[in-house]
Structure 1
Amino acid sequence: MAAPAARHWQDLPPLGAPASPWLHEEVARRMAQRLEWIVTRPKRWAHWFALRGGLEGHALVQQRYADAGFDVVEATPERAAAARAALEAPWWSPRRWGVGASAPRFLAATEALPAQRSVDMLWANMALHAAADPQALIAQWQQALAVDGFLMFSCFGPDTLRELHRVYAELGWPPAGHAFTDMHDWGDMLVHAGFAEPVMDMERIVLTYDSPERLLAELREIGRNLHPGRFPALRGRRFRERLLQVLAERLASPAEDGRLVLTFEIVYGHAFKPLPKARLAAESAVGLEDMRRMLRGKR
Structure 2
Amino acid sequence: MSTESGKRDKAAIRRAFDAAAETYDAAAVLQHEVGRRMLDRLDFIRLQPQRILDIGAGTGHATAALRKRYRKANVVAFDLSTAMLAHSRRHGSWLRPVPAVCGDAEALPFADRSVDLIFSSATFQWCADLDRLFEECQRVLRPDGLLMFSTFGPDTLKELRESWSDADGYRHVNRFVDMHDIGDALVSARFADPVMDMEYFNMTYASAGDLMRDLKAIGAQTVTGGRVPGLTGRARLQRMVDAYDRYRDSDGRLPATWEIVYGHAWATDRMPQRRDEQTGAVTVSLDAFRSSLKGGD
| TM over 0.5, shorter chain | yes
* 2:36 equivalent in structure 1: 29
Which residue, out of 242, 246, 256, partners 1:262?
A: 256
* 1:276 equivalent in structure 2: 270
Deviations 1:239-288 (A, max 9, x none): 334433443x222111xx111111111000000012337xxxxxxx9723
Ranges of 4+ aligned residues in structure 1 off by more than 4 Å = 225-230, 232-235, 291-295
Query: SS state of the match for residue 17, structure 1?
Result: coil
The answer on whether the counterparts of 1:128 and 1:154 sit within 8 Å (CA) in structure 2 is yes
Matched, 1:10 2:13: yes
The answer on whether the counterparts of 1:156 and 1:266 sit within 8 Å (CA) in structure 2 is yes
Cα distance in 1 for partners of 2:31, 2:210 equals 17
Letter in 1 for 2:47: T
How many residue pairs get matched? 273
The unaligned stretches of length 5 or more in structure 1 are 97-102, 278-284
Matches within 5 A, 1:235-254: 236-247=233-244, 249-254=245-250
Cα distance in 2 for partners of 1:49, 1:109 equals 10
* 1:63 equivalent in structure 2: 68
* 2:89 equivalent in structure 1: 85
The answer on whether the counterparts of 2:63 and 2:77 sit within 8 Å (CA) in structure 1 is no
The answer on whether the counterparts of 1:48 and 1:123 sit within 8 Å (CA) in structure 2 is yes
Deviations 1:201-244 (A, max 9, x none): 00011111123221111223252455889735785334334433
The answer on whether the counterparts of 1:124 and 1:153 sit within 8 Å (CA) in structure 2 is yes
The answer on whether the counterparts of 2:147 and 2:265 sit within 8 Å (CA) in structure 1 is yes
Letter in 2 for 1:265: E
The answer on whether the counterparts of 1:175 and 1:229 sit within 8 Å (CA) in structure 2 is no
The alpha-carbon distance between structure 1 residues 62 and 222, as it changes in their structure 2 partners (threshold 3 A), is same
Deviations 1:77-116 (A, max 9, x none): x3475255333x232x5xx3xxxxxx75321226962221
Cα distance in 1 for partners of 2:76, 2:254 equals 39
* 2:55 equivalent in structure 1: 48
Greater Cα shift, 11-20 or 225-234: 225-234
The answer on whether the counterparts of 1:2 and 1:227 sit within 8 Å (CA) in structure 2 is no
Query: SS state of the match for residue 52, structure 2?
Result: strand
* 1:100 equivalent in structure 2: none
The answer on whether the counterparts of 2:60 and 2:89 sit within 8 Å (CA) in structure 1 is no
The alpha-carbon distance between structure 1 residues 230 and 131, as it changes in their structure 2 partners (threshold 3 A), is farther
Cα distance in 2 for partners of 1:292, 1:18 equals 52
* 1:116 equivalent in structure 2: 112
Matched, 1:190 2:197: no
Query: SS state of the match for residue 265, structure 1?
Result: strand
* 2:276 equivalent in structure 1: none
* 1:137 equivalent in structure 2: 133
Cα distance in 2 for partners of 1:116, 1:79 equals 27
The unaligned stretches of length 5 or more in structure 2 are 272-285
Cα distance in 2 for partners of 1:227, 1:194 equals 34
The structural deviation recorded for 1:190 is 0.8
Cα distance in 2 for partners of 1:292, 1:40 equals 26
Query: SS state of the match for residue 46, structure 1?
Result: strand
Query: Sequence identity of aligned pairs in percent?
Result: 32
The answer on whether the counterparts of 1:9 and 1:224 sit within 8 Å (CA) in structure 2 is no
Larger Rg: 1
| Aligned-CA RMSD value | 3.0
TM (normalized to structure 1)? 0.79
The structural deviation recorded for 1:165 is 2.6
Matches within 5 A, 1:138-153: 138-153=134-149
The alpha-carbon distance between structure 1 residues 44 and 269, as it changes in their structure 2 partners (threshold 3 A), is same
Greater Cα shift, 259-268 or 214-223: 214-223
